[in-house]
Structure 1
Amino acid sequence: MKPAAVFLGLACVVLAPGALGKTVEIRKAVVVKKTVAVKKTPVVKKTVAAKKATPAPSPSSPKLAQAKKVQPAPVSAPAAPDKAYDERELIRMPSPARLALRAEMRDRMAALDAVLQRMRDGQVVEAGQIAQIRLGVALWGNHSRLPQAAQPEQYMPPKMLTLALDGYKAASEFATVALTGDQHTATAMLPQLTGSCAQCHEAYRIR
C-alpha cells in the first residue's frame, strides 16, 4: 500500500463522525467525576473533624458543678419518738365532753387576749365588760345545756373543779373593778385571770 493511501485512511478514521464528540464526552465525564470526588471528600473530612473537635465537659466544669449542687440531700432516719413521761393526771372523758371542754378553753384564751389588749390601750371599762361576759361566774354551768355525754364537769375531780371555779370568780372580781375605770387596781388584778388556768393545766390533762 502506498504511503499516501495510509495517511488518507488514518485521516478518515480520526475525522470520522462522532469520534471527536466521544472524546469530548469522555473527557467531560472524567472531569465531572474528579470534581464531584473533590467536593465530597472535604465535606466528609470536615464533618468527622468537627465531631472529634468537640471537647467533653471536664469534671471541674461549672455545669457539672451546678448539677452536683442541685442533687437532693440523702434523707436521714426519722427522729426517735419523745419518751418523756407526762406526770400530769389524765382525766378520762368521752370525746363529746373533751371537745366541749377544749372549745371552752379556746374561747377563754381569746377573751383573755382581748382583755389584755383593751388594758394596754387604756380601755379599762371595755376590758371589764369582756371579762364579765366571757370569763365571769355568769358562764359557770353553761355546759348543762349540752347533752349529758358532752358535759365535762361530771368527769372532773373535785380539785380540778375548784380550780376552774376559782378562775371564773377571779374574772368576775376583775370585771367589777375594771368597770369602775380604776386602771391601777385592775392592772394589779390581771395575774388572777390566768393563775388558776396555769395551775389547772400544770396538774391535769385530758388526752
Structure 2
Amino acid sequence: MRRVLFAVGSLALLCAMAAAQAPLDHANGPAAHAAPAAASDPRALVPMPQPLAQHMLANMRDHLAALQEIQAHLGTGQMDVAARIAETRLGFSSLGLHGAHEVARFMPPGMQDAGSAMHKAASRLALVTTDAAATGEMAPVFSALAAVTGACVGCHAGYRIK
C-alpha cells in the first residue's frame, strides 16, 4: 500500500511540476503548448536585481530537490528524515538559510503570501510526517505534501521573475 501511495504522490508531483511550467488556460487547464515568447506570458513580471533573481532561482531548484528527497524518504519509510528535510529546507526554519528577507522586499504581496503559504505548508508537512511515523497513517502526509506543491504551482502560475 505504501508503494502505491508513494507512486501516486510522485505522479502528482510530476503533474504539478508540468502544470507549473505550462501556461494556464483558466477555462481548460494547462495549455497544450508552451508560450512562444515572454510577451505572451500572462504571469505578472516581478523585476529584481539579477544576483537576487539568480539566488531565488537557485532556492527554488533546491526546494524542488527537497521535495524529491522527501518523497524518496517517505517511500522507504524514513519518516524522520523526510520530516527533517521538510522543515529545514522548506519550512519556516529554512527562511534564514534561503535569505528570504533579502528577496521578499522585491515580491508583490500575492507572491509573498504564496511563499509564506508554502513555508507554512512545509512546516505542517514536517509535523504530520512525524505523527505518521507513530500512527502509520499516510493520508495526512500526502495531503500536506499536496498543499506544499499546490503553493508552488500557484506561485509559478501567477508570477515570473526578470
Structure 1 residue corresponding to 2:104, chosen from 150, 153, 162: 153
Larger strand proportion of the pair = 2
Amino acid at match of 1:117: A
Describe the SS at the equivalent of 2:48.
coil
Structure 1 residue corresponding to 2:127, chosen from 160, 173, 176: 176
2:71–2:82 contact (8 Å) kept in structure 1: yes
Summarize the Cα distance change of 1:187–1:153 in structure 2 as closer, same or farther, 3 Å threshold.
Answer: same
Amino acid at match of 1:161: Q
Where do 5+ consecutive residues of structure 2 fail to align? 1-35
Separation in 2, partners of 1:153, 1:141: 12
Alpha-carbon offset, residue 189 of structure 1? 2.0
Q: How does 1:29-178 map to 2 (within 5 A)?
A: 82-83=36-37, 85-142=40-97, 143=99, 151-178=102-129
1:132–1:172 contact (8 Å) kept in structure 2: yes
Describe the SS at the equivalent of 1:134.
helix
Aligned partner of 1:189 in structure 2 is: 144
1:163–1:197 contact (8 Å) kept in structure 2: yes
Separation in 1, partners of 2:95, 2:107: 14
Describe the SS at the equivalent of 2:40.
coil
Separation in 1, partners of 2:143, 2:90: 17
Q: Which runs of 4+ in 1 moved over 6 A?
A: none
Describe the SS at the equivalent of 1:116.
helix
2:91–2:121 contact (8 Å) kept in structure 1: yes
Where do 5+ consecutive residues of structure 1 fail to align? 1-81, 146-150
Separation in 1, partners of 2:155, 2:100: 21
1:177–1:186 contact (8 Å) kept in structure 2: yes
Residue correspondences, number? 122
Give the TM-score, by structure 1 length: 0.54
What is the percent sequence identity of the aligned residues? 35
Separation in 2, partners of 1:167, 1:144: 13
Separation in 1, partners of 2:125, 2:114: 17
Q: How does 1:2-13 map to 2 (within 5 A)?
A: none
Amino acid at match of 1:171: A
Pair member with larger Rg: 1
Alpha-carbon offset, residue 192 of structure 1? 1.0
- Residue deviations 1:28-61, cap 9 Å, x none? xxxxxxxxxxxxxxxxxxxxxxxxxxxxxxxxxx
1:167–1:193 contact (8 Å) kept in structure 2: yes
Separation in 2, partners of 1:194, 1:114: 14
